[in-house]
Each structure stands twice: as C-alpha cells, then as structure tokens.
Amino acid sequence: MPPNTSRRPFKKQAATIDMTPLMDLTFMLLIIFVITVPALEYSTEVDTTPPKLDSEKSTEDVTRPLVIHFNKHGVISIDDNIVALHDLTNYLNNIRQSREKLTVMIRADGSRPYSEVIDILRAARHANVDSASLITQAEDQQQR
C-alpha cells in the first residue's frame, strides 16, 4: 500500500506570547501620560476672586424673565403697565437698554386669536429680545 501523503506529521508548537500588541499599548500609555501630566500641573490655577456686584441693579430683576400678559379683552400689560401693541417694541427696547439679557414670556388668554399672539412675538423680535416663549400653563385665579 502506498504511503498516505495527505497526512502531515504533527509538529509540536512552541507556546509563545506575541509581545507586539503589549508594547504598542505600553508606548501609547506612556505618550498619554507624558502629554497629560504637564497639562494637570498648569490647570490647577483657579481664579478665586468673587464677581463684583452692582449695587444699583438687583440680580433678580436682571435675570428674571419679563412676563407679558394678554387678557381676554385684548389688553397687553407688563408689570401692571398697560402697553398698546404699536408701542410694545419701543417699551421693550427701553427695558432692553437696562438689561444685558432680556427674556420675554407671553401669557395670552386662550380666547384671543393666535394671530394677535404672533403680533406680540413679532414686536418682541423687533425689540431684539434674547428669548421669547409662550406660557402654556393656565394662570391661577388668585394671581390676576
């Protein structure tokens, strides 16, 4: 019988660990530490001086949003001051001059046409307010 040529003789393989990925990981970690350690040393300087407060302006008045009320009779009021729609842009511009950031929130009665609410938003946009929002929650009866 001819010898079986399809079988290979069994070779014993040596148990070795490929060190290349381990060396790559070691060098990558070394590079990361070399870059981050100097950055950590310089980033510990923190400015601890408190901000200066302006005694003339209350921070509450400057940061709180301005609420525009639009009632069911079509009357626009801001902080209990009645403002006509054609004067609203000028009124908001005057308030804008005294504040760094002006946020406007509009509380409109649900019975008014939505186009009138859009007119108020348009007047706020012409006054360059930073943010204009619609209040969607119902107003308490005790507040107004």
Continuous segment of H or E residues that includes residue 33: helix 20-42
pLDDT at residue 32 in the model = 92
Average pLDDT over residues 44-66: 66
pLDDT at residue 36 in the model = 86
pLDDT: which is higher, 27 or 52? 27
What domains are defined for the chain?
60-134 (3.30.420.270)
pLDDT at residue 109 in the model = 87
Whether residue 22 is predicted with pLDDT greater than 50 in this model: the reply is: yes
Residues 6 or more apart from 134 whose CB is under 8 A from it?
105, 106, 108, 117
Average pLDDT over residues 63-74: 86
**Are the beta carbons of 66 and 105 closer than 8 angstroms?**
yes
- Banded model confidence at residue 60, pLDDT cuts 50, 70, 90: low
pLDDT at residue 25 in the model = 95
C-alpha torsion sign, points 67, 73, 75, 81: negative
pLDDT at residue 23 in the model = 94
- Banded model confidence at residue 52, pLDDT cuts 50, 70, 90: confident
